[in-house]
Amino acid sequence: MWILIAYGLLWLALITYLVYPWIERHNRCWGAIGISLGAWLCLTVGLVERSIAAGHWPLANRYEFALSFVWASLGLHLLLEASWRGRSSGSFVMAVVLFVASYAVTRPETMQAITPLLPALRSPWLQLHAASAVIAYAACGIAAGFGLAYMFTRRMPKRLPPIADLERAMERSVALGFPWLTFSILAGAIWAQLAWARLWGWDPKEVWALLTWLWYLMVLHLYPMPHWRGRRMAVLVLIGFGWVMFTFIGVPWLVRLVQLESLHGF
């Protein structure tokens, strides 16, 4: 129930973000921020209830990971809104959050059901691996929201933050997510060593996670170069989030489609 309430509030927040600037002269969409906070609180209650019922962190399957992904993205967005000076790009960030939330709520009931953990999943390293990935993906999603806002700056110059602020927000979001992405891969390798006696097995999920890490490493290296700033950087950040979502959603689908061998459930 709490999850569905949060999902409805996310849609209401997006609508408020889109409408509010056109009917008020204020740069801050306080109504949308308040609704977003309500959605985050509902998600928090829903995840805590699920954790208590399951007896483990809500990171055991794609449904739980997606909900945690939304929770972290929304929390990071609210923190940025609290410190943001000037106009908001919340509608674009909220669109990214809603994309992930829509994926979560449309999962089949079998995936949404609470199930006991398999022995290989009862490791603190799995929890650290998945939790780090949640934070990293959330930061990459926020960066993509800023990148999307940057693509609309020419059409909505008075409704969006200055270009320099959006560039800085993209870079800081990627810089925040990259260490967590790195730690997620390292924690996953340690977990794999404990569970399957191998640090790295070129599993499809491992390969795409590595490619995603390399992409964001490239983005951070290109950022100081003037000719890669601006719209080019926004495109790179958006492509990076595409890598993230394919690693999360696309790889399991590809594994089933091509009938590849994979030890990862999600």
Give the CATH number, domain containing residue 184: 1.20.120
Same domain membership, residue 63 and residue 131: no
Same domain membership, residue 132 and residue 227: yes
Q: What is the pLDDT of residues 138-174, one digit of tens each?
A: 999 999 999 999 998 877 767 777 888 889 899 999 9
Same domain membership, residue 254 and residue 122: yes
Q: What is the pLDDT of residues 101-138, one digit of tens each?
A: 999 999 998 889 888 877 777 788 888 999 999 999 99
Same domain membership, residue 161 and residue 131: yes
Per-residue pLDDT at 3 exceeds 80: yes
Same domain membership, residue 127 and residue 46: no
Among 113, 137, 162, the domain boundary falls at 113
**Which pLDDT score is estimated for 121?**
76
Same domain membership, residue 122 and residue 108: no
Among 61, 93, 113, the domain boundary falls at 113
Same domain membership, residue 107 and residue 140: no
DSSP code string of the chain: -HHHHHHHHHHHHHHHHHHHHHH---SS-HHHHHHHHHHHHHHHHHHHHHHHHHTS-S-SSHHHHHHHHHHHHHHHHHHHHHH--SS--HHHHHHHHHHHHHHHHTS-HHHHS--PPPGGG--HHHHHHHHHHHHHHHHHHHHHHHHHHHHTTTT-TTTS--HHHHHHHHHHHHHHHHHHHHHHHHHHHHHHHHHHS-S----HHHHHHHHHHHHHHHHHHHTTSGGGSTHHHHHHHHHHHHHHHIIIIIHHHHHHHHT---S---
Among 73, 90, 113, the domain boundary falls at 113
Count of domains for the chain: 2
Same domain membership, residue 148 and residue 105: no
Provide the domain limits for residue 167.
Answer: 118-266
pTM: 0.92
Same domain membership, residue 62 and residue 34: yes
Same domain membership, residue 170 and residue 135: yes
Same domain membership, residue 237 and residue 125: yes
Same domain membership, residue 130 and residue 261: yes
